[in-house]
Homo-oligomer: A and B are copies of this chain.
Amino acid sequence: MGKRILVVGGVAGGASVAARIRRLDETAEITVFEKGPHVSFSNCCLPYFLSRIVPESKRLIMMTPEAFRTRYNIDVRTESEVTEINREKKTVTVANEGKTYEEVYDVLVLSPGAEPVMPKSIKGIDRDNVFGIRNVVDIVKLDTYLKENDIKETAVIGGGFIGCEIAENLCEAGLKVHLIEAADQIMAPLDFDLVQILHKEMLDHGIDLRLHTALTEIGDGFVRLADGTEIPAGAVVMAIGVRPLAALAKKAGLDLGERGGIKVNTFYQTSDPSIYAVGDAVEIYNRLSGKYTLLSLAGPAQMEARAAADHICGLATRNRGFIGSSVIRLFDTYAASTGLNEKTAEACGIHYDTAYVIPSDKVGLMPGSRPIHMKLLFEVPTGRILGAQAVGGEAADRRVDVVSAIIHMDGDLEDLRDVELCYAPVVGTAKDAVNLAAMVGLNVLHGYVKQVPMRRIRELVESGAYIVDVREPGEFAAGHLKTAVNIPLSQLRTRLDEIPTDRPVYLHCRTSQRSYNAARYLMQHGVDAWNIAGSYLGFSYYEYAQDVLEHRDPIMTEYNFK
């Protein structure tokens, strides 16, 4: 007989470990224990059942225990909770239908996942109209509750991936959604500037977005915020975060990390070499920050599972750590990110600078062409690529994928500038967004252009800084910064004498391209010229949601989102 391999958890990581081991070793005896009724369901698709984009909940389940048995000779036991690991005896204790039994292992793999955080400090958290979404049972429970109680208004607590996707799908299902987030923005992987596009997308679709506010109480048909505000809500979805399910590991004396996840080595072995762990319950190494961290993403879970299976079967593996690449679609907008953002780079004390570009995702002449807002982070003075974010149409994630690949290969701005991407007018532009961002990054790194970030515009406008809008008069008339002077790029060379040389001059156009040309011209004529990153299109988005949410006066005559 071959090795006895027990796997705890039958979703994503667990199922992948089991299947890969089977392919490598026909002799292994493989048993998978899953606490819930289903294995191998599509977690990531759960929210889409609410809007019936996934029309039936049973379609969320991809494989049955029967299929595991007949196809892979893998024994899958659902409704079976592993309650204890007995490391000396190399057994686990399994609870099923009120009974317990032991199973012997040679190798044990833990893939328990994570669970939604449900803070006891929130009054009413235990009410039956409060839901955490982790599996098919949870989403069906929520959906049934909404229907049976004819709920019209809901509160989603937390604006991460799950919270946002649940909010979107509730909204698509016709419900009023209040999205409550404690931070000053949703979607932490995005920086504060780019995320404003998503804030606007939420507002445009009628979602009541409440930032910077905490939930204190869940009552009968309402939730209460920290400032006392009462918001009507017949059902509440808690999505403020997940916690690794590490209790079983902890009880068995396995080492945990600082973030509460299971500690693993380069082979995904825990502190007991007979016990492996993969997926959302483990702490992974972020190769950019140099820190161990939690990462609840399906892709890395699969990779960890494969690596663990390979090591269990005696194959060579390597562990390069992770950088974290993710994307969310909210209504018509896609937002992708990889690597570090400004917050995480700052937290690591890494010297960095950014490039912000807003090219079209395909040639402007082509139907459906949309701007991509793309931001690139690179190390100073090396130009090493640290991260990227892109928000726009369907093609946004494509650009971030390329940057992710370059980061994985330790590439720099020159590498990114030189990457040859597939171009046809219907899929991109000859100078792709990725190449363009790298070129701008090199200009910044080499000092060919000085730039100020969008977060400084309001201060510049209010302090009477000299701001030149180099767009054409028609564009200026359709909306401009209240204190900007309009000198179109096409007139700048004949109106040079209007530009002061005794103070900084801030330039913008629609997407920063014309103003970059203007800045280069002025710099060579002794002007202290600064290009405003993001430009009018970028700061229309940047300001809009903040203005609406904070009820503040716009600094511009009209926003311009085109």
Q: Give the interface of A toward B (CB within 8 A).
A: 12, 19, 22-27, 42, 44-45, 48, 53-54, 59-60, 67, 70-73, 297-303, 306, 318, 320, 322-329, 334, 336-338, 363, 365-367, 394-395, 397-398, 400-402, 404-406, 408-409, 411, 414-415, 417-428, 430-432, 435, 439, 448, 489-491, 493, 514, 516-517, 520-521, 524-525
Contacts and interface: CB of A to CB of B under 8 A. Distances in A.
Nearest to A519: B23
A24 to B, nearest CB: 7
A411 B411 CA distance: 11
A474 B325 CA distance: 39
A413 to B, nearest CB: 12
Contact of A299 (B325, B414, B430): B430
A322 B397 contact: no
Nearest to A318: B414
A417 B408 CA distance: 11
A383 B524 CA distance: 49
Contacts of A367: 53
Contacts of A329: 424, 426-427
This protein's copies in its complex: 2
Given A334-B427, A394-B394, A26 B524 contact: yes
B521 A439 contact: no
B405 A419 contact: yes
A493 B327 contact: no
Given A22-B517, A405-B405, A408-B420, 6 more contacts: A22-B520, A329-B424, A394-B427, A397-B421, A401-B421, A401-B422
A44 B363 CA distance: 9
Nearest to A408: B419
A420 B398 contact: no
Given A439-B306, A491-B70, A517 B23 contact: yes
A72 B470 CA distance: 13
A195 B26 CA distance: 37
A307 to B, nearest CB: 9
Contacts of A430: 12, 44, 298-299, 301-302
Contacts of A59: 365
- Which of A45, A409, A414, A419 has the most chain B CB atoms closer than 10 A to its own CB? A419
A297 B424 CA distance: 9
B423 A326 contact: yes
